[in-house]
Amino acid sequence: MTFVECEGTGQYVDHEKEHISTKYPFADSYRVIKIEILVADGQVDQVVEIVRESGRTGYSGDGMILVSPVDDVYKIRTNEKGIAVV
């Protein structure tokens, strides 16, 4: 699991905070935390449901869950390959 602090764009707006878009109208962005989780195919639905239940507030800005396939994994230091390196 990896947590990345970044900026995002979209329809969410927090009216209580100053946004970069108030200074630069072309850059409508806000601070977000991106969480990356690598799981086996058989665990995807279970992990998605756990994240949905844990992260849901009912308010705009709860986020999205994106599911993407991973074709392979390579460990740079040892040159190992495959799911066993995770």
Query: Residue 47 pLDDT > 60, yes or no?
Result: yes
The pLDDT of 11-23, averaged and rounded, is: 55
Provide the CB-side half-sphere exposure for 47 (13 A, CA): 14
Query: Is 26 a residue whose pLDDT tops 80?
Result: no
With cut-offs at 50, 70 and 90, classify the pLDDT of residue 33: confident
Position 23 pLDDT exceeds 60: no
Write down the pLDDT at residue 45: 97
Indicate the Cα dihedral angle 22, 35, 66, 17, nearest 10°: -20
Domains and CATH numbers, the chain: 2-85 (3.30.70)
CA distance 64 to 78: 34
Tell me the whole-structure pTM to 2 decimals.
0.68
